[in-house]
Amino acid sequence: MSNSDHDISTLNSLIATTIDSVDGYTEAAKDSQSGRFGALFTSRASERRQVASRLQQEVTRLGGKPEDDGTALAGAHRVFLDLKSMVTGQDEKAIINEVEAGEDHIKAKFEDAIRDTELSPAVRAIIEEAYVSVKEGHDEMRDLKHAMERQ
């Protein structure tokens, strides 16, 4: 695999995970009964759309076809969560817990990519730039989860 192919593959994997995050935040905003959390989730979904778009632009620049869909695993997970919420109901704490679990996943994916020594320096820099937003989202949801646990 050429360096460019590896860059494209890595970026497309991050794009799919980021699209999953957009979908997760969008669903969380719909499920949230709190205007405050709904607005927060909508804002995070918008930020993640921008991250995905930036990564897609880089794939195009490299001559690849950018990913435009999330992962099958995330789709299956959302179906499970929809079924679970129909049975058990969906409270704010449960929504925050699910969002924070998703944040752990996307943060780990970006950290793995940053540690990838086969990436070109230019692509690593773009991933590091996107990671700033990912880490902010993760930390905000982690802090929110911990604050709710203390209530």
DSSP per-residue letters across 46-93: HHHHHHHHHHHHHHHHTT-----S--HHHHHHHHHHHHHHHHH---HH
pLDDT digits (tens, 9 = 90+) for 70-117: 665 555 444 445 544 544 456 778 788 888 888 998 999 999 999 999
Total count of domains within the chain: 1
As a whole number, mean pLDDT of residues 31-53 equals 89
- Spatial distance between the Cα atoms of 37 and 131, rounded to a whole number of angstroms: 22
Whether residue 14 contacts residue 55, with contact meaning beta carbons closer than 8 Å, is answered with: yes
Q: CATH number of the domain that 37 lies in?
A: 1.20.1260.10
Q: What is the domain range of residue 70? A: 3-149
In angstroms, rounded to a whole number, what is the distance separating the alpha carbons of residues 144 and 82?
22
CA distances from 148 to 25, 93, 96 (A): 18, 7, 9
